[in-house]
Amino acid sequence: MALIEFEHVFKHYPGSPSAAVDDLNLHIQAGEFLTLLGPSGSGKTTTLMLLAGFEAPSAGAIRLDGASIESLPPHQRNMGVVFQSYSLFPHMTVAENVAFPLSVRKVAPSIIAEKVNAALTKVHLENLTHRKPNQLSGGQQQRVALARALVFEPRLVLMDEPLSALDKKLREEMQLEIRRLHRELGVTMVFVTHDQSEAMTLSDRVAVFNQGRIEQLASPKDLYDSPANPFVANFLGDNNMLECTLDEGLPTGASAGTGRVRTASGQTVLSRICTTKALEKNDEVKLCVRPEFLQVASSSAALATPNCLRATLLDLIHQGDHWRLVAQLEGVAQGSKEAPQWFAKISPGALPAGLMVGQNLCLGFRPEDAWVF
């Protein structure tokens, strides 16, 4: 049995035309790190607040160890929560902030001191016990909030975009710190973010939210390598997309395999078919290829791939460890809404010599590195 079960959970807010959480079914396993990923308003934070007990579901069941918890107040759920704003008490010291959850639970002072010291040692703040929050950096304040959430040894730790206020370097350091704590403590963690890099770094599984529903739930690798639909493909990592027509390949009703698609300019390419819809010849589909899977050459003869999309080079940008190429596909006017510009991520050693803006190119890719939805 899963540690946490959401069964057909809905959350409606008065005046809203749609549900913030729409028929959510989600099982969270004990000890896993689950990230709820999605854009603003997708339902991920509402889901976390329902789990924490700060919101009540409009319908459906939420269970902990098989027992319903919808009517259980937050302080009785044994869950630690880390908020985006840290929510530290400014008049209390670091030690007093961390001790607060134990104090309200009437734990003996001698045990409180022992547990606070242990929690602060876990986040490497044992030497800052007497400082106030305004004497700490953003990263240190976040560590205090994390220690406070861990100090009473909760069944779950819930985190609502806790790193969004930190700069890039601190955010990456805290990602590694949270990953280390999860590995060492084995506590179940549920983490909300809109940052795909955070989700990829931290998670055992990621639930991609959109309009109150989960579009796909899988490991970071599976989400990246085999997205379920264009929304997931676009939200997790960079992605090129092109409207095409199914030319041949799949029988009616098939949902996996390799098929041939035709672009608006008449070029044909082979691609993986990744859809649960029944597809027939001449159906409209979307072709998706990630920038790092594209190869660039001056002609199709120079490519080691069966696919070639003809294009014109619009820009060439050096980004340190790679070049970013911007290209306009053949047969579509520059800036047209029908076909956005495509991007390629090319390592310095794979960049053809003498490339110039305005030059005609072939963008090549293997069938297994493309998806059709």
- Per-residue pLDDT reduced to its tens digit, 323-358: 999 999 987 655 555 556 899 999 988 888 888 999
Q: What percent of the chain has pLDDT over 90?
A: 64
How many angstroms separate the CA atoms of 78 and 157, rounded? 9
> Which residues in the chain are classed under CATH 3.40.50.300?
4-231
Say which DSSP state 341 is in.
P
Per-residue model confidence as pLDDT tens digits over 78-111: 999 998 887 899 999 999 999 999 999 999 999 9
Residue in 204, 208, 180 with CA at minimum distance from that of residue 196:
208
Is 117 in contact with 67 (CB distance < 8 Å)?
no
> Which residues in the chain are classed under CATH 2.40.50.140?
238-372
Query: At 240, which helix (H) or strand (E)?
Result: strand 240-248
Write down the pLDDT at residue 298. 82
Say which DSSP state 77 is in.
S
The pLDDT confidence band at residue 187, using thresholds 50, 70 and 90, is very high
How many angstroms separate the CA atoms of 324 and 34, rounded? 32
Say how many C-beta atoms besides its own lie within 10 A of residue 252's C-beta: 9
Q: Calculate mean pLDDT across residues 157-165.
A: 91
Least confident of 47-56, 123-132, 351-360: 351-360
Write down the pLDDT at residue 316. 94
Is 4 in contact with 27 (CB distance < 8 Å)?
yes
More confident residue, 272 or 334: 272
Query: At 245, which helix (H) or strand (E)?
Result: strand 240-248
Q: Calculate mean pLDDT across residues 281-286.
A: 86
> H/E/C letters for each residue in 23-52?
EEEEEECCCCEEEEECCCCCCHHHHHHHHH
Is 20 in contact with 11 (CB distance < 8 Å)?
yes
Alpha helices in 163-238 (DSSP H): 168-185, 196-202, 220-225, 230-235
More confident residue, 128 or 165: 128
The pLDDT confidence band at residue 256, using thresholds 50, 70 and 90, is low
Residue in 234, 208, 188, 209 with CA at minimum distance from that of residue 371:
234
Write down the pLDDT at residue 340. 67
Query: At 101, which helix (H) or strand (E)?
Result: helix 94-104
Q: What is the largest CA-CA distance in the chain?
A: 77
Residue in 147, 137, 144 with CA at minimum distance from that of residue 169:
137
Chain centre to alpha carbon of residue 345: 21
The average confidence (pLDDT) of the chain is 89
In the CATH scheme, what architecture does the domain 4-231 have?
3-Layer(aba) Sandwich (3.40)
In the CATH scheme, what architecture does the domain 238-372 have?
Beta Barrel (2.40)
How many angstroms separate the CA atoms of 129 and 185, rounded? 22
Q: Is the pLDDT of residue 182 over 50?
A: yes
How many angstroms separate the CA atoms of 262 and 267, rounded? 6
Is 52 in contact with 74 (CB distance < 8 Å)?
yes
Dihedral angle at the C-alpha atoms of 78, 83, 86, 92, nearest 10 degrees?
A: -30
Say how many C-beta atoms besides its own lie within 10 A of residue 212's C-beta: 22
- For 85-97, the DSSP string reads T----TTS-HHHH
The pLDDT confidence band at residue 280, using thresholds 50, 70 and 90, is confident
Query: At 337, which helix (H) or strand (E)?
Result: none
Q: Assign residue 212 a region: left if phi > 0, alpha if psi is -120 to 50, beta otherwise?
A: left
Helix (H, G, I), strand (E, B) or coil at 227: coil
109 contact partners, CB below 8 Å, separation of at least 6: none
- For 106-173, the DSSP string reads T--HHHHHHHHHHHHHHTT-TT-TT--GGGS-HHHHHHHHHHHHHTT--SEEEEESTTTTS-HHHHHH
Per-residue model confidence as pLDDT tens digits over 132-158: 999 998 889 999 999 999 999 999 999
How many angstroms separate the CA atoms of 247 and 261, rounded? 5
